[in-house]
Every structure is written in structure tokens, then in C-alpha cells.
Amino acid sequence: MIRFLILFGFAYLFLHLHLTGDISKYINMRYGYLSFSMIFVIGVMAVYQLVQWNREGSKSQENVEKEMFGHDHAHENNTWWKKLITYALVVFPLITGLFLPIATLDSSIVRAKGFHFAEIDNDKDQYANHQILKPDTSQYYESSTYKKMLKSDMEKYSKSDNLYLDDDNFLRALEAVYNYPGNFTNKNISMMGFVYHGDSLEKNQLFLFRFGIIHCLADAGVFGMMVQFPQNVDYKDDTWIRAEGKLSETYYQPFKQTIPVLKVTKWHEISKPKSPYAYRKY
């Protein structure tokens, strides 16, 4: 019976996440069909466990205790507590998923882990997950395929004098901007994100970020760019704003290299969007 309740609970949790849309806070919805199919898989497993339990309905209370805690007088000292721990570990994510509010990533993660260009990262493990300023999906493609895709994106997004970074193109367009900054210089770019005050910035400068998800929350990174206002601003971290301006470049000392900067001409504060993450589109 315990196994049935656990499996039923997980099936309900997945269904709840899909119905509320909160599943998008964990995975790229390109793969939403996988988690949705798990509802049926887990549901079938739960029904099977329920049938098995009904077939064994004539068990005595002693046998039920054996199933729950795995102990009889011969093995109670070395078995029951192992199963108790196992059930606790399995039930813990179920309880937290159902009863605790879902927290979204914010500037505290950036502050704790930092952000940087992949090129200056000392960790050579291409599969390690890092908080990085510019999107870099090169590790997911064969080299020639990646270069071809990147060039195609550059041509697509640079052909107009105005580039609007929205939920659909944020990561792909931003990756093109960082790899081909010269092709976007002086173009008008509009974007939204949350405020983060990085190191060595002037009072009229800040970073505008969004957390981007390639596949799932485990590979999430913080992406965006430096923005420079025509006057000093005092926005607090995690304030969401929409900014529009001309793209230029500036030397950023902490990175020891030149990075894109958006010289803002128009901006205003906005509410945090219902879906704050940007997802990689393919």
C-alpha cells in the first residue's frame, strides 16, 4: 500500500505541475512531453501496486509490518531501518514538491556563484554547469554544425536595424550578438531582465539578466548584458526593467576583455513576468 501511495503521489505531482504550468520552472518545455508521459507510466505502476496489495489483503498485521518496515524478529536489527530511510528519501521530494512554494532563481544565485565568460573559466570540463554571461551551446553540437547554425542566426538577427529580445529568441539572438558583436554595433536592441549590480560598474551602469534553460534547471545559466544609462540610476537587485538602446562595446576589467554594452535611450520598470526564464529554442 505504501508503494501505491508514493507512486500515486508522484503521478499527482507531475499532473499538478503540468496543469498549473509550473513544470516550465524545471524543464525546457520542448521536453514537456517526456514528463507528461511519466504521469501515465507512474500511474500504471501505481495501479499495479494497488492490485498486488488487494491480492494480499488477507495478510496479517504482522506481515503488513514486514512489508512496511522489512522486519521480523530475525532481521529487525539490520533491515527495517534501511527501508525506513529509503522510504523517507523517496517521500521527501514528494512532500516538498506538493507543499512548499516554488522558488525562482534570482540575483542571489549570481552573487553566490558569480558570472563570467566561458573562455576565461579555468574548468576545462565541457559538461560542467556554470553561471555564464553569454550563452554558449557549442558543447551540444558538432563543431561545423555549431558554426553553421551560429552564422545563420547572426544573419537572421542582424538583417534588421531593430532587434527585440523576447522569450522565443533571447538565448539564440544573444549568443549571436556575443559571437558577432561587430554585426550588431549601433543596432537598436530591446530587452527585459532583472537588475544585477556587478563589480567595477559606474553608477549609471548595471547588468540586465535572465536565467536561461537549455534542457532543465540543472543546466540553467544567467545570461544578459551590461546596460549603460544616460544618467545615474538606483535600481535594486532583482528589479525587472525593460530597456532599449544602441549596442556598443566596452572594456570590462573583471573579465579583462571587451564585452557588448547596451547604451540605453528608453527604459521603464516592469513587473516580474509569470515565466521569468528564457528557454533555448531549436
Q: Which structural domains are found in the chain, ordered by start?
A: 2-99 (no CATH), 107-279 (2.40.50.140)
Note the pLDDT tens digit of each residue in 195-205.
999 878 999 99
**How confident is the model at residue 61, as a pLDDT?**
46
**Which run of H or of E encompasses 226?**
strand 221-228
Q: CB within 8 A of 35, min separation 6: which ones?
A: 14, 17, 18, 23, 27
Mean pLDDT of the chain: 84
Quick one: what percent of the chain has pLDDT higher than 70?
A: 86
**How confident is the model at residue 249, as a pLDDT?**
95
Q: Point out the least confidently predicted range of 19-23, 73-77, 229-233, 271-275.
A: 73-77
**How confident is the model at residue 120, as a pLDDT?**
43
Query: Phi/psi of residue 204, each to 5°?
Result: -105, 15
Mean pLDDT score, 256-281: 93
Cα 98 to its chain centre, rounded Å, is 20
Pairing of strands 257-269, 188-196: unpaired
Q: Point out the least confidently predicted range of 68-72, 82-86, 210-214, 273-277.
A: 68-72
Q: CB within 8 A of 110, min separation 6: which ones?
A: 131, 196, 209, 222
**How confident is the model at residue 106, as a pLDDT?**
83
Q: Across 105-114, 136-145, 149-158, 195-204, which has the greatest mean pLDDT?
A: 149-158
Binned at pLDDT 50, 70 and 90, residue 68 comes out as low
Note the pLDDT tens digit of each residue in 160-182.
999 999 999 999 999 999 999 99
Binned at pLDDT 50, 70 and 90, residue 90 comes out as confident
Binned at pLDDT 50, 70 and 90, residue 67 comes out as low
Q: What does the alpha-carbon distance between residue 180 and residue 186 come to, in Å, rounded to a whole number? A: 13
Note the pLDDT tens digit of each residue in 104-133.
888 888 877 766 555 544 444 444 455 578
Cell numbers standing for residue 21: 504550468
pLDDT higher for 78 or 113? 113
pLDDT at 241 over 60: yes
